[in-house]
A = this chain, B = another copy of it.
Amino acid sequence: MADGIYDRLNGIGVHEVIIESPDHATDLDSLPLQNIEDCLQAFQSRILDLKKNTRLHYILIFKNHGEAAGATLEHTHSQLIALPIVPELVSDELAGARRFFETRNLCIFCAIIAQDKKDGNRVVIENDRFLTLCPYAPRFPFEMWLLPKFHSARFEDMDAEDIAQLARLLKETLLRMRRALDGPPFNLVLHTSPVNGNHGKHYHWHIEIMPKLTKMAGFEQGTGFYINPVFPESAAETLRNIKIQSS
């Protein structure tokens, strides 16, 4: 409704809390593998269900762990928020990926995976279908991305074996982070294709994990730039060197 120079928008949306364990666990990586698979499958089935509602244009899944990362519940959980529009950050990422594709006829995330596997020193762990890396220009110390090594724009297109492999990679990634950084607060955000639009060629779904070790302050708020004192190569080395029992 117009109100002088301003508009007030009405909105619709969905907010769901995904409780990751019936027991009072506080850490996702402490759950059995099958339980983590069940969580990923729950994400998938909620996305597939909500996509039927044509008023929802983007489905965001994220996890806040620890009070400093905005969590208000201790019991391990994730959240789903479905929105009536594609959010600005997602459109920006899609537009960047499209520009790269138009110039090079190549998915930028596939290019990152190839380059980082060649360089080697930013890869944390990998299995047949997925890998975890510390991105080349991380906003936050120990920022990590989990990506499918095969090209895929939509999280919900995973098959059962993908889910099993992602669960293993996610559990081990979180465990390494917990050991390396003494159980830090963190945010985890799924980046996947919007419900509509043709993003299959240039977009590549992935999960971003950002431990909360630094604070957003005036510089970040005034510029949109981030100050990160840790090289991704050092973060990846620290995470690789954590000794864990093979799962």
Contact = CB atoms under 8 A, between A and B. Distances in A.
Query: Which residue of A68, A81, A188, A222 has the most chain B CB atoms within 10 A of its CB atom?
Result: A222
A90 B223 contact: yes
A136 B224 CA distance: 22
Contacts of A224: 87-89, 92
A63 interface: yes
Nearest to A119: B4
Interface in A175-211: 187-191, 208, 210
Contacts of A115: 4-6
A216 interface: yes
Q: How many copies of this chain does the complex contain? A: 2
B215 A210 contact: no
Interface residues of A, number: 43
A111 B5 CA distance: 8
A218 interface: yes
A79 interface: yes
A246 interface: no
A141 to B, nearest CB: 14
Given A5-B111, A5-B112, A115-B5, A210 B219 contact: no
A6 B68 CA distance: 32
17 contacts: A6-B115, A60-B219, A62-B222, A64-B217, A69-B217, A69-B218, A70-B216, A70-B217, A70-B218, A87-B222, A87-B225, A88-B224, A88-B225, A90-B222, A90-B223, A92-B224, A187-B217
Q: What are the 4 closest A-B residue pairs judged by CB atoms, nearest first?
A: A70-B217, A62-B218, A87-B223, A89-B224
